[in-house]
Amino acid sequence: MTRIAIVGVAGRMGRTLVHAVAQNAETTLAAGIVAPGSSLAGADIGELAGLGKKGVTAVDSPAACVDDFDVLIDFTTPAVTLENLAFCAEHGKRIVIGTTGMSDAEIETLDGYRERLPMVFAPNMSVGVNLTLKLLETAAKALGDEGYDIEVIESHHRHKVDAPSGTALRMGEVMADALGRNLKEHGVFERVGQCGPRSDKEIGFATVRAGDIVGEHTVMFATEGERIEITHKASSRMTFARGAVRAARWVAGQPNGRYGMQDVLDLDT
């Protein structure tokens, strides 16, 4: 049985994670952590998630529940995640990180912990998205250097704070790697005014923010005469939460290292 603590338990993903952990027969809802000073400290985390009393009260720091859990699941913000990563490394815990929007410097800091604890870090925990990454790698290898333009279009709810989505960037990286291109050089994130025609090797990104869209990604491979589109649509946050719980169970049995969902699912991308 894997004892799980959920950070940001009052957030959108946090509340969904309470449902996913409660539904999994191999995991225990061990602790829920809210922001320091939050008025929700002391609330029952089952009630916060609309599940009824679960007998676990929210605390406002990982230190307050350090003896209760084995794996921390963190979907918060980059700064909070890095603090929790340091805490887990110091206290012999494991961590699953779903937080997106990290800068290169923050990812470098995160990577510095790879020898100190087992961690899973993935911008998208959905099994379907991770399979889609594999399909994109195959499509990019077959089409990318044969005159097909590659464009990534992503849509999310109006509250999302980072753009393009971590998933869109990951899709871009997988395709760029498959084609021997560098996304930093070939990624195009803005087109406005007299920006000229596209180049052959660029990978373009477009962002939509509207309403309550959970998460949609389409990658277009377009050439003269035909267009292939590979689309993934998430209709509920439960897909991310179930993937995170699967990652938590998996990482509980791994040696120190930084892993992604491709490792959890054995997809080898």
- Please give the positions annotated as active site: 156, 160
Q: Is 100 known to sit in a ligand binding site?
A: yes
Subset of 91-110 contacting ligand NAD (CB under 6 A): 98-101
Q: Is 124 in the site for ligand NAD (CB under 6 A)?
A: yes
Q: Is 123 known to sit in a ligand binding site?
A: yes
For ligand NAD, the binding residue among 4, 5, 13, 153 (CB under 6 A) is: 13
x/- map, 58-87, ligand NAD, by CB under 6 A? -----------------xxx--x-------
For ligand NAD, the binding residue among 48, 96, 117, 122 (CB under 6 A) is: 122
Cα–Cα dist 135/153, whole Å: 16
Burial call 54-83: b when 16+ CB within 10 Å, e when fewer: bebbbbebbeebbeebbbbbbbbbbebbbe
- Contact range with ligand NAD by CB under 6 A, out of 7-15, 19-27, 136-144, 177-185: 7-15
Q: Give least dist CB 200 to ligand NAD, A.
A: 32
Subset of 227-266 contacting ligand NAD (CB under 6 A): 240
Q: Is 20 known to sit in a ligand binding site?
A: no
Q: Is 17 in the site for ligand NAD (CB under 6 A)?
A: no
Q: Is 28 known to sit in a ligand binding site?
A: no
Residue 17 phi/psi, 5-degree rounding, is: -65, -35
Q: Is 2 known to sit in a ligand binding site?
A: no
The stretches of 50-165 forming alpha helices (DSSP H) are 78-90, 104-111, 127-143
β-strand pairing of 94-97 with 27-33? unpaired
CA distances from 221 to 26, 52, 56, 183, 207 (A): 41, 47, 49, 16, 17
x/- map, 193-232, ligand NAD, by CB under 6 A? ----------------------------------------
User: At a CB cut-off of 8 Å and minimum separation 6, what does 226 contact?
Assistant: none
Q: Is 35 in the site for ligand NAD (CB under 6 A)?
A: yes
Place of tokens 């998460």: 215
Place of tokens 């969904």: 16
Chain centroid, CA 207 distance in Å: 17
CA distances from 7 to 72, 73, 166, 261 (A): 7, 6, 19, 19
Q: Is 27 in the site for ligand NAD (CB under 6 A)?
A: no
Query: Per the annotation, where are the binding residues for NAD(+)?
Result: 8-13, 98-100, 122-125
Residues making up the annotated binding site are: 8-13, 54, 98-100, 122-125, 157, 166-167
Interface residue list for ligand NAD (CB under 6 A): 7-8, 10-14, 33-36, 75-77, 80, 98-101, 122-125, 240
